[in-house]
Each structure stands twice: as C-alpha cells, then as structure tokens.
Homo-oligomer: A and B are copies of this chain.
Amino acid sequence: MNFPSLFFLCTFVYTLLYMEKFEVTILGCGSALPTTRHFASSQVINIREKLYMIDCGEGCQLQFRRSKLKFSRLNTIFISHLHGDHCFGLLGLISTLGLLGRTAPLHVYAPKAFESQLKSQLEFFCKGLGFEVTFHPVDTQQSSVIYEDRSVTVTTLPLHHRIECCGFLFKEKPLLPHIRRDMIDFYNIPTYKINYIKNGKDWVTEDGTIVPNSRLTLPAETPRSYAYCSDTIYIPELSQYLQGVSLLFHEATFSQKDLARAKETFHTTAEQAATLAKNSLAQKLCIGHFSARYEDENVLLKEAQQVFNNTILAKENLTIKL
C-alpha cells in the first residue's frame, strides 16, 4: 500500500471510530425511589472520545465502570438540579477519580446553591485530592451557552420543577467536509495539503487553474444535537429550543392516567414528552426517569409511541448512537 492510500485508510478508520462518535450512555434512569430495576439519574455523552456526564445520581461511578467508559476521559459534569437522585453520586465519583491518581481539573456545572455544599463535602471527605474541582454556577432561569470546546457547545434549557432546574442541549460544531479521494488523485494534490482543502480552500494547479473547493470535497454531515430534559413539568414552549434535535431525552415519570400526580410533583407524562418531541420535529425520543410505580414501563413506551413513533425506553447501560 502506498503512502497516500495508507494515509486515507488511517484517516477513514480514525474518523469512523473517533471523530464521528456522538453517543449517549444511560447510567441510570429511575426516579427518586430506588427499585431493583433502575439506578438514579445519570448519563454520559461521548463526543469524539471526550466524555461529559449529565447528572450523577447514587451509583453512577459503578455504572460508569459497568459501561466500560474511561474515567480519565471525563472532564465535565453538568448537574440539572439538586435533588439527591441527580447528584448524590458526585462525591463518590470524585473520590474514585482521586484514588485513580487523576491530576487534571474536573469541571462541575450546577446551580449556584451547590457551590458551598460541595466545597464543604470535598474538604471533609476528600482531603489531599490530587486535582482541582472547578465549580461553574449555572443560571437555570434562561437559555444560554455555558460550555464550549472545539467539538460542542452546551446550552441550558430552562425547566420548571419543584426546585430550580435546567436541561442541557449539546450541539455538535459543524464538521469539516469529506475529501473526494478521486479528485485528490486526479489533481495529484500532496497529502500534506489535505487539511488545507478540508478547511475550505481551493486548489491551484501548476498551470494556475483554480479548482474550487466544492469540486474537491463532499459536504459534511449535518451537525448532531442531543437534548436532556429532566426533571420538569410539561413545557410546550421548550420546543423552540429543540427544533430538529437528533435525540431528545425527556423525562416521562408518569403515564397520562397519572397526569394529576405529574402536575402536582412537577413531572411530565409519556404522552406529553412525545408531544414535545413531535412539536420539536425531533428525530428520536428517549424517555426515562420512570416512577417506581410502573413495573412494566412498556405502558409508558406505548403511550409515547402513539404520539411519536420513534420513541425508545431508557435503560441502564444502553448506548444510543446519534
């Protein structure tokens, strides 16, 4: 195999394996009361092998290990609200990261009120921790970009629960176009110029002819997005932030027959979650945060599918590829 072919093969495999990865792994999707079926709320988003955690209910570190995710790749944790079933696993996770010899800072995004409590717990339980826990207070009242790196932006989604709460919208940044291998060969463009082409530049041949970039590349895939909405009463207006989202995770704590209970406790029904997915033109809906009262959650699935067919049930250690 010659060098350019090897280069293309490696790039292809690398892109396939890592650069295009956008996955959501459910670590827990139960609600506050423990059942034998579920762990408390926690998820991990894997974008190009960088891991982001959303919520960290009790047992999330155990589930993290069970999902064969790498602790060293986790740098950022987003906490939607300060009910125990969404954050009681944080301290155990931080302790474990310390035992594993971590030195890189860990960034925690959560409602402001948590800052002093977390600090006090860290001082008491995690003396001599080998890394920094950097707290970023989150304003849950309005939608704003709270995090950004070269792969993704994370925007808050204002939710309405019994205490202050927000969801998170992960938007992949636009991807680079695909190189047309046949055109690269045709114009004999050297390998070291490929990134130059990928970044939108035209090619000038030896005789001065300008080959426009559009002839050398194929458009990149549409950037993907993931929205996490838990816990909240049904907010129809949320759809303004969710238009065309690739995957919507929405809590569906109750069935429509328990609508009164859902309203009373500021939760959503499966039918309502599906209606939101439909009105948001979401590509797929995953429902979770199931109340302990439903031994068979297919009741919730069927209810949601009647409104929005492409719905799945969250489940521990399920990985959804976007």
Contact = CB atoms under 8 A, between A and B. Distances in A.
Interface in A17-40: 32-36, 39-40
Nearest to A28: B62
A35 to B, nearest CB: 7
A281 interface: no
B95 A91 contact: no
Contact of A32 (B33, B65, B95, B124): B95
Interface stretch (A4-12, A82-90, A229-237, A270-278): A82-90
B125 A121 contact: no
A30 to B, nearest CB: 9
Interface of A: 32-36, 39-40, 58-59, 61-62, 64-66, 82, 84-85, 88-89, 91-92, 95-96, 99-100, 117, 120-121, 124-125
27 contacts: A32-B96, A32-B99, A33-B99, A33-B100, A34-B62, A34-B64, A34-B65, A34-B96, A35-B65, A36-B65, A58-B59, A58-B62, A58-B88, A58-B89, A59-B59, A82-B124, A84-B91, A84-B95, A84-B125, A85-B92, A88-B88, A88-B92, A88-B95, A88-B125, A117-B121, A120-B120, A121-B121
Contacts of A124: 82, 117
Given A34-B62, A58-B62, A61-B58, A84 B92 contact: yes
Contacts of A34: 61-62, 64-65, 92, 96
A120 B116 CA distance: 11
Identical copies of this chain, number: 2
A85 B92 CA distance: 7
Nearest to A38: B62
Nearest to A67: B36
A88 B89 CA distance: 8
Contact of A58 (B82, B92, B99): B92
A66 B36 contact: yes
Nearest to A113: B124
A58 B65 CA distance: 14
A25 to B, nearest CB: 15
A88 B58 CA distance: 9
Nearest to A127: B163
Given A34-B62, A40-B92, 14 more contacts: A33-B100, A34-B65, A34-B92, A35-B65, A58-B61, A58-B89, A84-B91, A84-B92, A84-B125, A85-B92, A88-B91, A117-B120, A117-B121, A121-B121
B33 A96 contact: yes
A131 to B, nearest CB: 16
Contacts of A91: 84, 88
